[in-house]
Amino acid sequence: MVVAEISVITVGSVSQSHFVSRVIRIIEKSGIKYQLTPMGTILEADGVEQILDVVRTVHEEIFREGDIKRILTTLKIDDRRDKRVRMEDKVRSVREKLD
């Protein structure tokens, strides 16, 4: 199971919500499970290839939007292969330690 975080920023644009909504539509179309957060989007897939494919699609599609000349795409990947860990499991583990 792979859990990843993607953040896409268009350099020179003040508001990012329009671009974030485009990113979410692309992710939804891919079928990858996701969770939108205030600072990025968490992705969950069976393999790293699925993550990389959707990130590549997102990155290229944003360039097709109007007059975008520069994009900063940040990707963090947690590829754990010893056991199946979902994004909810990671959050639950921390919350249990807070109790």
Could you tell me the domains of the chain? 2-98 (3.30.70.930)
Pairwise pLDDT comparison (63 vs 14), residue with the higher score: 63
**pLDDT digit string, tens, across residues 15-49:** 888 889 999 999 999 999 999 999 999 999 999 99
pTM of the model: 0.86
Q: How is the beta sheet containing 71-79 ordered, strand by strand?
A: 33-37, 40-45, 2-10, 71-79
pLDDT of residue 23: 92
Q: What are the structure tokens assigned to 29, written together?
A: 């179309």
The SS3 call for residue 87 is: helix
